[in-house]
Amino acid sequence: MEWLVAIAISVITAVGVYLVLSRRTFSVVMGLVMLTYATNLFLFSSGRLAVNQPDIVTDPAAPHADPVPQALVLTAIVISFGMTALILVLAVRGYFESGNDEVDLLGPEEEIARGRT
């Protein structure tokens, strides 16, 4: 169980990091989505993985699922959802404003126009 979750988190993180480092905004946004998925899974597992256990503790010694990380993950999901929507809007607007979807601050033609090369 732990191994499965750990491998899943690491693979999703690796994909996310790879995509975030790309040149085009769309891949970067996808990378960010992947990263937030991995983060949420990680946060969820920080309360220890427990299957089929109650999350309301009557006897502290009995096995139980920790409810706090679940609440944290809910908050994190809502925030990352909002942020993803926002960056998508920004990316689209950036595309229409500048005509391409490069992440770099200045495209090569702008560099030339500015007389830097």
Q: Which residues bind another protein (CB under 8 A)?
A: 20, 25, 28, 32, 35-36, 38-40, 42-43, 45-48, 68-69, 72, 75-76, 79-80, 82-83, 86-87, 90-91, 93-94, 97-98, 103-106, 113-115
Nearest in space to 87 (alpha carbons), one of 41, 35, 18, 42: 35
CB of 105 to another protein, least distance (A): 6
The DSSP bridge partners found for residue 102 are: 24
Q: Which is nearer to another protein, 11 or 90 (CB)?
A: 90
CB of 106 to another protein, least distance (A): 8
Nearest in space to 94 (alpha carbons), one of 82, 84, 83, 106: 106
Degrees to nearest 5, angle at CA 6 with 57 and 52: 30
